[in-house]
A and B are shown apart, each in its own frame.
Chain A
Amino acid sequence: MRATAGTFTALAVALALLTGCSTAPSTASSTAYVPPTNAAPTPTPTPEAPLPVAEVDVPTASASLDQNQVPQAPVPQRIRVDSLGIDMAIEPVGLADDGAMALPKDPSLAAWYRFGPSPASAAGATVVAAHVDSLIYDIGPFAQLASATAGTEIVVTTEDGQDRRYAVESVQTVTKQDVPWDAIFDRSGPSRLTLVTCGGEFDYDARTYLSNVIVSANPIA
């Protein structure tokens, strides 16, 4: 009983043409997720000398329990994108029961995936996401992300009081089934920031957006 994909496509194209909307129709932009250019591959681990371990200086450490403390990566607490009017608190979150990243209902609150990297981590993508809208709370600030452009500055404040600045590299609208979640939540590679919300077309029967809007940003030295 749903409109066909063709109908959606035609409407989206028509809408884009009519409004001159800068957001590319999802059919054009969702063919494949494109990783950010700075996401260099993890360096191949240097192989140990092919045995005679006799001469190898083997790393040795105490296995005592006090070496096994919770790592204290500074938690990101606030995100600002001045040019888009975004200024939001960030909550640490884990997973929902269904295996999705658990977001606060209120789209004016952003969420940080607390099991992944933080902006202070030496490597990997800090993932911050927020609802784009809500039946209760209306449209959220992350709705503006779709209009970010390359170079847009993002500032994330961590609990140590540091402002960590990023520049947007790319903004992509990717159909949900095509989002490579392991790349989004990558804990290796250069330290970087990935913002995620929803966007694109909406399935008014299932009450869900068909795409995620993914912003990739790199630290400003």
Chain B
Amino acid sequence: MHKTLKIGMTAGALGALVALGGLAPAQAAEDVAKLSVLHGVPGLTVDVYVNDKLTLDDFKPGDIAGPLDLPAGTYTVAITASDAADASAPAIGPVDLPLEAGKNYTAAAHLDEAGKPTATLFTNDISQVAAGEGRLTVRHVAAAPAVDVLANGAVAITALVNPNESVLALPAGTISAAVAATGTTEPVIGPADVNVAEGTNTIVYAWGSLTDKNLALAVQTIEGLHSNPDSIPAGEAGLVATNQANDSTGLMVGVAAVLMGLVAAAVVGMRRLSVARR
């Protein structure tokens, strides 16, 4: 009987703990916006100013910063050369980033299709991912024309242009990814292994410049988007059941019906046989 007692003792207190555990992160997520910053401009170490305050010092190409938890609002971002004294002469921007509470963003400093530095604010998909799957987001932020993305040799995304994105749901696992000019299969980036982790938004940026031959992939991951199995069916024979088969009157009736059916069929069959013999 101790099991029943134990359940009685702990139910109230533990219910409250679990409720708190479930609520706390949700509240935090609702109050703030999350912002990451990707540096996708080759060959240029920069400083990043947010609302005229130096936020990222000596930020290097191919690096990602954050995520920062920020109160919702509009932030003005200016990107300067790394030796600038202030934000008055930015190389990129200033741009206004409107951030909503509960959302997750990446601001990317990158080249546009023509090779001019620019900045794009992406909203990251943080909705739940089906159990066993990962989300793959591909963003074109390179000085290059439209591209196709090949996953394991097959075209997965077509005609992606700067600064757009494409989002896929895939079974969790490692894929071999390559980027090719649209309509072709000859890679301009890769093939490279990308881990599409379960319950994670894996965001791959194609960045750099086709002309300068420095195209590359950058990766950002947002974890914790998983969902769970919805059951564990772990028995099929009833061999350790706390009830017994012949307790089930329904089964008995069912068996009886089947038996009667068989008898009836047999009788009919025999009659047919006897008819046939005649």
Contact = CB atoms under 8 A, between A and B. Distances in A.
Interface of A: 1-3, 7-8, 11-12, 15-16, 21-26, 28-29, 32, 34-37, 39-45, 47-48, 50-56, 58-65, 67-71, 94-95, 98-101, 103, 107, 113, 115, 129-135, 138-139, 142-143, 146, 149-150, 170-172, 176, 179, 181-185, 187-189, 196-202, 204-205, 207-209, 212
Nearest to A129: B232
A35 B17 contact: yes
B234 A58 contact: no
B85 interface: no
Of A36, A40, A101, A200, most buried by chain B (CB within 10 Å of CB) is A101
Of B13, B193, B230, most buried by chain A (CB within 10 Å of CB) is B230
Interface stretch (B19-27, B90-98, B145-153): B19-27
10 contacts: A1-B254, A3-B248, A53-B68, A139-B237, A181-B228, A185-B229, A198-B235, A201-B241, A204-B238, A204-B245
Nearest to B59: A60
Interface in B215-273: 216-221, 224, 226-245, 247-251, 253-254
Contact of B219 (A16, A42, A63, A188): A63
B225 to A, nearest CB: 11
B198 A133 contact: no
A45 B67 CA distance: 13
A133 B236 contact: yes
B235 A2 contact: no
A189 B230 CA distance: 20
B199 interface: yes
Main secondary structure of the interface of B (DSSP, over half): mixed
A36 B18 CA distance: 10
Given A7-B247, A68-B221, A115 B226 contact: yes
B107 interface: no
A132 B240 contact: yes
Contacts of A70: 174, 195, 197
Contacts, number: 277
Of A52, A95, A113, A150, most buried by chain B (CB within 10 Å of CB) is A95
B195 to A, nearest CB: 5
Of B199, B229, B247, most buried by chain A (CB within 10 Å of CB) is B229
Given A40-B17, A205-B251, A197 B234 contact: yes
Given A143-B240, A196-B234, A24 B131 contact: no
A199 B195 contact: no
Given A12-B242, A29-B7, A208 B198 contact: no
A152 to B, nearest CB: 12
Contacts of A61: 63-65
Given A103-B234, A115-B226, A172-B3, A58 B243 contact: no
B251 A212 contact: no
A189 B68 CA distance: 23
Interface string B10-47: 11011101101110110010011000011000000000
A11 B18 contact: no
B250 A8 contact: no
A208 B239 contact: no
A65 B66 CA distance: 17
A94 B63 CA distance: 33
Given A61-B64, A202-B241, 6 more contacts: A52-B53, A58-B55, A63-B62, A70-B195, A100-B233, A133-B239
Contacts of B224: 187
A54 B56 CA distance: 8
B20 to A, nearest CB: 5
A129 B234 contact: yes
Nearest to A28: B4
Contact of A7 (B21, B232, B249, B253): B249
Contacts of B199: 115
